[in-house]
Amino acid sequence: MQLPSGYGSHPPNYSAPSGHYSQVPNKAGASHLDNQYRASYYPTYYSAPAQNVMTPPVGTSVLNTQESQQLYNKTPPHTGGSAEGPIQGAISSASYLHTSAQQSYSAFGNHYSTSVSSSVASQGFPLNSDHYTMPVVSSAVYPNVSYSVAAGSVYGQAFTSQSLPAVGQFKETNTFSSQSTSVPHLLQQHVPVGYNTTLSTISSAQSVQDNLCRNLTGSVAKVNNQINAGGIDSSQPVHPVSQSVLFTKPGAGTSVSSAVISSVRTPAPSLSSQPRSSPSVTQSPELALQEAIDSSSTTSSASPVLNNYDALEGGGYPEARSVTSSPVPAPSVPQTSKASKPFGYGYPTLQPGYQNAAPPTPVQPSNSGHHPGFQHYPQQYPGVNQLSSSLGGLSLQHSQQPESLRPVNLTQDRNILPVSSVPAPVPNLNSDLRKLNCSPDSFRCTLTNIPQTQALLNKAKLPLGLLLHPFRDLTQLPVITSSTIVRCRSCRTYINPFVSFIDQRRWKCNLCYRVNDVPEEFMYNPLTRSYGEPHKRPEVQNSTVEFIASSDYMLRPPQPAVYLFVLDVSHNAVEAGYLTIVCQSLLENLDKLPGDSRTRIGFITFDSTVQFYNLQEGLSQPQMLIVSDIDDIFLPTPDSLLVNLHESKELIKDLLNALPNMFTNTRETHSALGPALQAAFKLMSPTGGRISVFQTQLPSLGAGLLHSREDPNQRSSTKVVQHLGPATDFYKKLALDCSGQQTAVDLFLLSSQYSDLASLACMSKYSAGCIYYYPSFHRSHNPAQAEKLQKDLKRYLTRKIGFEAVMRIRCTKGLSIHTFHGNFFVRSTDLLSLANVNPDAGFAVQMSIEESLTDTSLVCFQTALLYTSSKGERRIRVHTLCLPVVSSLADVYAGADVQAVVCLLANMAVDRSVSSSLSDARDALVNAVVDSLASYMSTASNLQQSMLIAPNSLKLFPLYILALLKQKAFRTGTSTRLDDRVYAMCQMKSQPLVHLMKMIHPNLYRIDKLIDESTIHVNDRVVPQPPLQKLSAEKLTREGAFLMDCGSIFYIWIGKNCDNNFIKDVLGYPNYASVPQKMTQLPEVDALSSERTRSFISWLRDSRPLSPVLQVIKDENPAKTDFFQHLIEDRTEAAFSYYEFLLNIQQQICK
Amino acid sequence: MAIGGTPSGAVEGGEQRALPNLLDKNKALSILSYLSVFPDLGLQIITLSDLECDYINARSCCSKLNKWVVPEVIGHAVVTVLMLISLHWFIFLLNLPVATWNIYRYIMVPSGNMGVFDPTEIHNRGQLKSHMKEAMIKLGFHLLCFFMYLYSMILALIND
């Protein structure tokens, strides 16, 4: 507010530009880390100022004309009435908008190339956090605000940060070079024009050019001086600003120059006080601008501003770049920001709309709080941004749209499935950040553009949440051994690629914005063996890292790997014959069990009594100890039941060989699962570890006994599905006890009749175990299940395992997690206690936006998983995800990740069906589609309401929801056994996204013509890539053969008239009639089609940890129904076809 | 959570002649129950906020709180019934919704949950917040009742 002098006269004009610019910072904010963008910033920044300059004189006219071009045209008169004025405007508009924009765009593609212009400002200031704010102030809200002040702050900070910039600069060079072409135009043209009007400005411009020539190193001082001279007049300062902008662009264009700039920065004495004299201008363009401003504005205001800034920085700008750590100066570049914003976003098409929108936005009205003090700056931005962005959103329709926002008419467009699997959307970050960002396989967010406020999120009607797969098997994982693990001192965030280094000695946390010291050790980079480059450490170069933790991270010495197997040996179990498979698998994989020399193993069997096995080393054979007092279970010989795997290996092998035959003649039909589990808990509690429970029937004795709750007549009921929740809290309590003792319980349920999985599953759900279910398991009658058990066991026994783990999910201040999904116990607000963690476990969390995110352009999420490896090492695996914040609804939709949304909704629907009812959950799923599409259609006002339109990013949403409604977990009307349903629900809660998506919407391929398909080469193998087919019977032809990939099972469906050659070559049978009913393997036939088919299937298998079972299906096969129930686009007696579902949605939207 | 019985006794001062025995008992009981109301509610709020701040484990927090659910339900129900018996319609009606809610809450706990406060759910779907809110509202209600009872007790004493 103190600015009054020059700018005061033209407040409206200024404010408008500022609004634009402010946007830039946010968007650009994403790019903070990237130095590139900073570089680019300059150009835009300056160009923007130029526009601003023009505008102030125009005054009223500016306001009216919203388009940049118009502005420019008008400006000329102001600039001095010279003929050049108009030219300038034309040039600037033309060059700026078209040349620079387009060129840069083309060059950069979707990256923040656009941001180049906007981000440029940041570059100049990269080092200075204050800088960032500064520009904002000047340009945006406070037209009057003393620029000098801002400048002063900038400089001061710049000094401190100087040393770091190098990295950022490098990056910048590239971008600049690409842009450089456009820039020159601007400069040349501009210079002549503007200079004529104001001498001072000219000089500055020249100086800028000089700077460029010299790499900007020495020129700064000159610029300042010149500027000062010219800037004294209130009216004139404007001009210099514009000029400086232009010039800066050229500077940006030459990469060298930009780099120089950053390094050059001299400590600017407080600009406010000494603007003219101060030679310190490091960022020549910016300085020029600011100085001009200073000259125009009163210097006195400067000091207070500075203070405010400092305060702001402390909490405000999370996005500081990693390298330079200076906050983005974006605010200063109001107009440019607008223009650039679209680019930054990667939605080139948006640009026109944005540009239009930007100029008109009155900055001041939006930022009510700004005037009083600078402190409010950050807020101002957002406000401006919101306005402008919303305008931009409106204008979207007229301009081209980003691909993800392209409207898709769902009722007409029948082929919406992509050719190959649906890729995860890439967040709109600049390329540097994007490269650093966490892989979508481990960490996905439902909205890759985070809405600024909860209100905006509510408007979008999409859930906000994360889907995590933190312990995924990784082929490449940087492991860091370091005595000190660098973490934020207040929020305990691990250092990550998205923090900013303020200078060599300090870094700013990207979650809580606290400034922390860089420890001495961290200065040394073990990779490059260099000192003083903390930003090149692997922790800062990788978003997924693993630390070897010191003893600070242990409550007790790392536990050994301990495995306890609890086996059901009642009549039912022996009859099913699972014991043979389990013992066989264990024997085969005994040496592959993850662990070290301390690994321990034990066995408990149970029927109506509980049997323990003494395997103590030295015994000649295993000793069975029977405890029949199941009401008060005790351990007969506590010390010798869990034995060292290596010392007692022979005894263990003896036991495993004998076990399948020991109970062959048992007549015991009861099952005392509860007491057996209590015993297991007692056995495990001193160490912790893993209990694997194999159960084949309803527990009928002792604690935890259950009664059948399923009414078979209700299986296909369309009304109420009861008993989805547990019947008793026994298993839950047991699980919590186990969890407290670092013991996980994994459940294998192999039953032929109802076993109340809803109750039994609790033992795994809350102890972080996993659940496997094999309905109607029988070793010989159901070979598919037997094979599945065998494969699952192989994976289960040999996969990685983490013990006594905890996981914490942290997110940027303002976001909070309110619901967790997965198998674990939430010990405190954000701490998940995982007794065991396995690589196949997925998690989901729902989040809400508690505080508006308007003062930040990036949000980060960090999961840290602390676990003990099977080798007894304490390790921390850290994933960090960084996403941009957006303020317009259109952008939120553009960034929607439909697969993540669907998976999160599935998790929420499971909760809902347990806590409320299944029909509630189904309604909620349908409403999710209806609401979000209705909301989208209302934002896109030019769309015809009679059509069902979805943005491209959400075009699969209705299809997936329909698939979900037809999934076992949520379907009604089709006969579904309660256990099947509950198991499907358990899987939804605990499967990682990739697997879950295949469960919900399987992939269908036609495989009888693989030879003609395009191929890729993987490890010297030729893998055909057939296109995805719609899940509809209309795609199945009698002449074809189809493969359906359901995640855990492959179906191959053979048409009746399928080519005999295919049947012969691939299946190994002479004709269709001779193909057996139960075929689970493809023979190795020496034919091209066979080879291709097998390579395709093995390629599919390789992509997942669990090797799926293959089932060949002919028309008469009873498994046919399994196959056809996955054709979710078709109508069934109980459910809509896809088209009907769409019409239904449309109807509801119109209501 | 047994609610303010004391006042009820006081209110009944006028009717003491009609139901002397009952009222005496009523009085004593309400005093007793009142003694437990505030500490109980206070405990609930303190424990919940401890959990919020991560000072306490969800498991121990819930078992602590669940212990008090039944006494609260019973206490409040008894007080409410006593009000009815002593024909204090207004106070009875005032207490009825809260008592009903307490009973409803207790009855509606799903079979698999470990009580009104379930450690596995308390961090989900904002349950912690809603429990907190509930405790606050009840505290306010009991404070209000307390002063009402106090007032009517004094009134009754004066009338005597």
pLDDT 10s digits, A154-199: 333 333 333 333 333 333 333 333 333 333 343 333 333 333 333 3
Cα distances (angstroms) measured from residue A147 to each of A17, A295, A383, A1066: 15, 8, 21, 76
Q: Would you list which residues of chain B are within 8 Å, Cβ to Cβ, of chain A?
A: 51-52, 54, 57-59, 110-114, 119-120, 122-126, 128
Cα nearest neighbour of A820 on chain B: B124
- Please check whether residue A92 is in contact with residue A155, taking contact to mean a CB–CB distance below 8 angstroms: no
In CATH terms, the superfamily for domain A404-424+897-1001+1128-1150 is: Sec23/Sec24 helical domain (1.20.120.730)
Q: Which element (helix H / strand E) includes A731? A: helix A730-740
What confidence tier does B43 reach under pLDDT thresholds 50, 70, 90? confident
Query: Quick check: A329 and A284 in contact, CB under 8 A?
Result: no
Taking the C-alpha atoms of residue A830 and residue A486, their distance in angstroms, rounded to an integer, is 20
Q: What pLDDT is attached to residue A943?
A: 57
Q: How far B61 CA sits from the closest chain A CA (Å)? A: 11
- Catalogue the long-range contacts made by A77-80 (C-beta closer than 8 Å, 24 or more residues apart): A78/A54, A79/A53, A79/A54, A79/A193, A79/A194, A79/A197, A79/A198, A79/A239, A79/A242, A80/A196, A80/A197, A80/A198
Of residues B59, B110, B124, nearest to A725 (C-beta): B110
Instruction: Determine the residue of chain B that is closest to A766 in CA distance.
Output: B120
Asked if B119's CB is within 8 angstroms of A819's CB, the reply is no
| pLDDT at residue B37 in the model | 62
Count Cα neighbours of A606 within 13 Å in the Cβ-side half-sphere: 31
| Residues B3, A911: Cα–Cα separation, whole Å | 35
Chain mean position to CA A55: 41
8 Å CB contact of A825 and B52: no
Q: What is the pLDDT of residue A846?
A: 92
> Which chain A residues contact residue B125 at CB under 8 A?
818-819, 911
DSSP letter assigned to residue A873: -
Chain A residue with minimum CA distance to B54: A828
CB contact under 8 A, B112 and A726: yes
Amino acid A24: pLDDT: 36
Side chain identity at residue A513, one-letter code = Y
Round to whole Å and give the CA distance between A392 and A24: 13
Q: Give the model's pLDDT for residue A116.
A: 33
Q: Which tokens go with A322?
A: 């990693």
Residue A393's closest CA among A906, A951, A873, A819?
Answer: A951
Q: A846 to chain B: nearest residue by CA?
A: B125
Closest Cα in chain B, distance from residue A736 (Å): 8
| A1083's tokens | 């023979």
What is the residue type of A530?
S
Which two tokens mark A729? 């809290």
Is the distance from CB of A502 to CB of A465 less than 8 angstroms?
A: no
Q: Residue B83: which pLDDT band, with cuts at 50, 70 and 90?
A: confident
User: Which residue among B58, B111, B126 sits closest to A826, beta carbon to beta carbon?
Assistant: B58
Chain A residue closest in CA terms to B123: A829
Tell me the CATH number of domain A431-554+803-896, given options 1.10.150.570, 2.60.40.1670, 3.20.20.70, 3.40.50.1820.
2.60.40.1670
Contacts of B112 in chain A (CB under 8 A): 725-729, 732, 758-759, 762
Q: Which residue has the tokens 């001061």?
A: A156
Orientation of helix A11-31 relative to helix A334-345, angle to 10°: 30
pTM, to two decimals: 0.68
For residue B43, give the 3-state DSSP assignment.
helix
CATH superfamily membership of A562-709+720-800: von Willebrand factor, type A domain (3.40.50.410)
B110: chain A residues, CB-CB within 8 Å: 725-726, 915
- Output the 3-class SS for A20-43: HHHHHHHHHHHHCCCHHHHHHHHH
| Alpha-carbon A348 to chain mean position | 23
Closest partner CB to A828 (pick from B54, B114, B126): B54
- CB < 8 Å to B109, chain A: none
| Single-letter residue type at A849 | I
Question: Distance between CA atoms of B108 and A764, rounded to whole angstroms?
Answer: 25
Instruction: Give the residue numbers in A contacting B (CB under 8 Å), as ranges.
Output: 725-729, 732-733, 736, 740, 758-759, 762, 765-766, 818-820, 825-829, 831, 911, 915
How many residues comprise chain B?
160
pLDDT at position A746, please?
92
Q: What are phi and psi of A805, to 5 degrees?
A: -100, 150
- Minimum-distance CB partner of A766 among B54, B120, B123: B120
**For A731, which residue in chain B has the nearest alpha carbon?**
B112
Cβ-defined contact of B123 to A829 (cutoff 8 Å): yes
Chain B's closest residue to A729, CA to CA, is: B112
Alpha carbon of A826: minimum distance to chain B alpha carbons (Å) = 7
Structure tokens at B47: 């424990």
Q: What is the dihedral of CA A734, A793, A843, A346, to 10 degrees?
A: 180
Please give the single-letter amino acid code of residue B132: M
A-B C-beta contacts closer than 8 Å? 61
Which chain B residues touch A826 with a CB distance below 8 Å?
Answer: 58, 120, 122-124
- Structure-block tokens of residue A427: 């967040």
Which of A896, A930, A923 lies closest to A1143, judged by CA?
A930
How many Cα atoms sit within 13 Å of A1012 on the Cβ side? 5
Domain A1002-1127 has CATH 3.40.20.10: yes
What's the gap in Å between the CA of B122 and the closest CA on chain A? 9
Q: Domain extents for chain A?
A: 404-424+897-1001+1128-1150, 431-554+803-896, 562-709+720-800, 1002-1127
Chain B residue with Cα closest to A767: B120
Q: How far is CA A909 from the centre of its chain?
A: 21
Show Cβ contacts of residue A106 under 8 Å, excluding neighbours closer than 6 positions: none
Q: How far apart are CA A825 and CA B121, in angstroms?
A: 9
Reduce the DSSP state of residue A192 to 3 states and report it.
Answer: helix
Q: Which long-range contacts (CB under 8 A, 24 or more apart) does B80-83 make?
A: B80/B3, B82/B5, B82/B8, B82/B26, B82/B29, B82/B30, B83/B8
| Residue type (1 letter), A686 | P
H/E element, A120? helix A113-124
A contacts of B131 (beta carbons < 8 Å): none
Closest by Cβ to A727, choosing from B54, B111, B119: B111
Q: What's residue A747's pLDDT?
A: 92
How close does chain B come to A827, measured CA to CA in Å? 6
Contact yes or no for B59 and A728 at CB 8 A = no
Classified as helix, coil or strand, A501 is strand
Q: Which of A727, A740, A818 sits opposite B112 (nearest CB)?
A: A727
Question: Which neighbouring-strand residues pair with A746?
Answer: A692
Mutate to test the interface with B, among A817, A820, A828, A830 (most CBs of B within 10 A): A828
Which residue of chain B has the CA closest to A759? Answer: B112
- Hunting for tokens 């859930």 — which residue is that? A463
Q: What are the chain A neighbours of B119 within 8 Å (beta carbons)?
A: 736, 825
* Cα(A183)–Cα(A1086) distance, integer angstroms: 62
Quickly count helices (H) and strands (E) in chain B. Answer: 5, 0
A726 chain-B contacts, CB cut-off 8 A? 110-112
H/E element, B45: helix B20-52
pLDDT beneath 50: ranges in chain A: 1-400
What gap in Å lies between CA A203 and CA A51, rounded to an integer? 19
